[in-house]
Amino acid sequence: MAISNSPNLLGREQAAEYLGVKPRTLDVWASTHRYHLKFIKVGRLAKYRIEDLDEFLERRTVNTQEHK
């Protein structure tokens, strides 16, 4: 199976929906390096692994008990 058709790879719109942001937000994050979110370049397309998105969410999770 080709990497671009792999079921665990999401396109920009799918990844944005998964994260709860707009697709343009992912573009901004990539171009400004605001957040370190791994993606795979397939030609001109950016593909996102679900496990990388989950790891990103885990890193961004704040434990409110630790911030009191």
Give tens-digit pLDDT for 14-42: 999 999 999 999 999 999 999 989 999 99
At 29, the amino acid letter reads W
pLDDT band, very low/low/confident/very high, at 8 (cuts 50, 70, 90): confident
Residue with tokens 């990844």: 15
E strands, 1-68, are 9-10, 40-42, 45-49
Average pLDDT, the chain: 88
Multiple choice CATH, 7-60, 3.30.310, 1.10.10, 1.10.3470, 1.20.1530:
1.10.10
Looking at residue 66, its pLDDT comes to 64
Give Cα separations from 22 to 1, 11, 15, 30, 65 (angstroms). Answer: 29, 13, 9, 13, 29
Domain map of the chain by residue range? Answer: 7-60
Residues 64, 57: Cα–Cα separation, whole Å: 15
